[in-house]
Structure 1
Amino acid sequence: MRFALAVTAFAGTALAYPGLSSIFAQRATDCLTEADAKDIVDLYVRLIANYKDEDCEKYCADDFVDRSDSINTFIFRPLGEPTFATKKIFMEAQGTNPPFPVIVDGVDAVACESVGLRWHATFGAANLPSRGITLIGATKKAGFWQIKSLDVEFNSLIWLLNMGGNYTWEG
């Protein structure tokens, strides 16, 4: 009951002070819509599967960061550290990577400034599906939605096989 009274009092305060209600209204309009989230996911797929510098320049925030322990294992970076700490580093890496097919299996969460999705990629020597998850952080600082962060994890053993590598199981 106290919680309901506190909420009612807070809502009444917001109505009594027009400045507060406009802040709440603006905050709601600054959140991703489902259509915005779809656009962000489509952009993510383009950045990975069909990379172009102009997409990254425009649609990745200036303070962009990409984190992935799955990728860090391949490029010999310490686990837990940013994989591509800046937009420039990400652009240099993506510019040298061959494209690969990314199929979005589902968008499972859309919050105010983030999107969570599941995907898979089947390619290369083994041609096996490597499944992954990506959390996309978004920002609207430039006046339109941009990707601010990527947190990506996937089945790196299958990825290794698809790249023509191999592993030995020692049990």
Structure 2
Amino acid sequence: MHFSVLTTAALAGSAMALPSLPSLFSRQDAKCLTRAEAKDVVDIYVQLIANYTDEVCEKYCADEFVDRSDSINTFIFRPLGEPTFATKKIFMEAQNTNPPFPVVIDAIDAVDCEAVALRWHATFGAAMKPSRGITIIGTTKRLGYPQITSLDVEFNSLIWLLNMGGNYTWEG
């Protein structure tokens, strides 16, 4: 196969006009989470569940914060599909009355521009069985640093019930 000098020059010129592959796939948007910021957001999530303080919530939960979990809704007698804690204030009130749970992060599975997906487990209480869960954390960087806008949390609520000292009977 022979290329003419003009063909070679044309290909070289067009290659120089294209952005490099790394720049095509990198996120230049300052509003998007970096991997390091995603890890920080997960650490904040753990604090909110395992070592709650109003100061952390005030700073790192956005004003429009909402928490959704049908797993939790079953325990607090809220209708499935409705927000569990519809506002930051309601979440703060609940966290101030809830005992801390020893959340262990198993993996951060995905980081998107404004979301982090993770798997975790918590072993505690009467049964000391690991209840496994997943959380999707929605974020914003409107104030220049990541804040949590939403939590979507689901977990093995039957194991959680046993850990809280409850029981269930399987009727098949």
Report the TM-score, using the length of structure 2 for normalisation.
Answer: 0.84
Superimposed CA distance per residue, residues 50-82 of structure 1 (whole angstroms, 9 cap, x where no aligned partner):
000000001000000000000000000000000
Name the structure where helix makes up a greater proportion of residues.
1
Q: Which amino acid aligns with 2:118?
A: L
Show the counterpart of 1:141.
142
Show the counterpart of 1:60.
61
Superimposed CA distance per residue, residues 4-47 of structure 1 (whole angstroms, 9 cap, x where no aligned partner):
xxxxxxx99xxxxxxxxxxxx99622210000000000000000
Q: Is the radius of gyration larger for structure 1 or structure 2?
A: 2
Show the counterpart of 1:122.
123
Q: Which amino acid aligns with 1:132?
A: G
User: What is the alpha-carbon distance in structure 2 between the residues aligned to residue 70 and residue 45 of structure 1?
Assistant: 18
Question: Structure 1 runs of 4+ off > 6 angstroms?
Answer: none
User: What is the alpha-carbon distance in structure 2 between the residues aligned to residue 101 and residue 120 of structure 1?
Assistant: 8
Question: Which structure 2 residues correspond to residues 40-79 of structure 1 after superposition, within 5 A?
Answer: 40-79=41-80
Show the counterpart of 1:3.
none
Q: Which amino acid aligns with 2:125?
A: G
The Cα RMSD (Å) is 1.8
Show the counterpart of 1:107.
108
Q: Is the 8 A contact 2:117 2:136 kept in 1?
A: yes
Show the counterpart of 2:23.
none
Gaps of 5+ in 2: 1-16, 19-25
Report the TM-score, using the length of structure 1 for normalisation.
Answer: 0.84
Identity %: 79
User: What is the alpha-carbon distance in structure 2 between the residues aligned to residue 135 and residue 73 of structure 1?
Assistant: 19
What is the count of residue pairs matched by the alignment? 150
